[in-house]
Structure formats: structure tokens, C-alpha cells
Amino acid sequence: MPDPRIAQKAPYVMDMEPGSYIYCGCGLSTKQPFCDNAHKGTEFEGQKGVAMLVEIEEEGTKAWCGCKHTKTPPFCDGSHEKL
Ligand code: FES
């Protein structure tokens, strides 16, 4: 995948309900940390990890990666501190 855009250099920490979510991996979405299809028609379209389906099984707090450089997508692994 081309180098993703850094949406923010920090995670989006959110209280989540169980359900299906689509994580934005390219950083172009205006509805961070979720996909709004902004990747369509760009170099990111069709790339692996751009629109990632995530199943949340239990309610709880999640730290979604905002920098898009995590090694453990869709969640923050601290990589943003090295950007
Ligand atoms: Fe991307 Fe933390 S926000 S690794």
C-alpha cells in the first residue's frame, strides 16, 4: 500500500459497542478512525488494509490507530511516537 496519510499522531480512544466497523487504513477519511470511502478513486483504492472490517465482540475502550503506521492494525501499538 502507498504510504498512508497520518490522520493524527495519536490514537482515537473510544468506548465501543459490539458490532462491525470499517477502519480507515489510508488516513483520507473525514470520519476517523472509520472509513468514509474517501479512498475511492485514489492510489489507495483496492489496496490491502485500506478499508478493514473489524468485529468488536465485547463492549469496551479501544485505541484505534490514528497515524496509520501501527504494526497491529487497527489498533495503536505506539508507533506514532516514532513519526
Ligand atoms: Fe498509530 Fe499509535 S496512533 S500507532
In tens, the pLDDT along 15-57 reads: 999 999 999 999 999 999 999 999 999 999 999 999 999 999 9
Q: Give the tens place of pLDDT for each residue, 8-22.
A: 999 999 999 999 999
Per-residue pLDDT at 45: 96
The Cα 40–Cα 36 span in angstroms is 9
**Which residues does ligand 1 sit against, CB inside 6 Å?**
10-11, 65-67, 69-70, 76-80
Hey, what's the cell of 39? 479512498
Residue-wise over 54-64: b if at least 16 C-beta within 10 A, else e? beeeeeeebbb
* Cβ proximity of 23 and 55 under 8 Å: no
Atom in ligand 1 nearest the alpha carbon of residue 11 = 3
Per-residue pLDDT at 1: 85
**Is pTM, for the whole model, over 0.85?**
yes
Contacts of 3 (CB under 8 A, 6+ apart): none
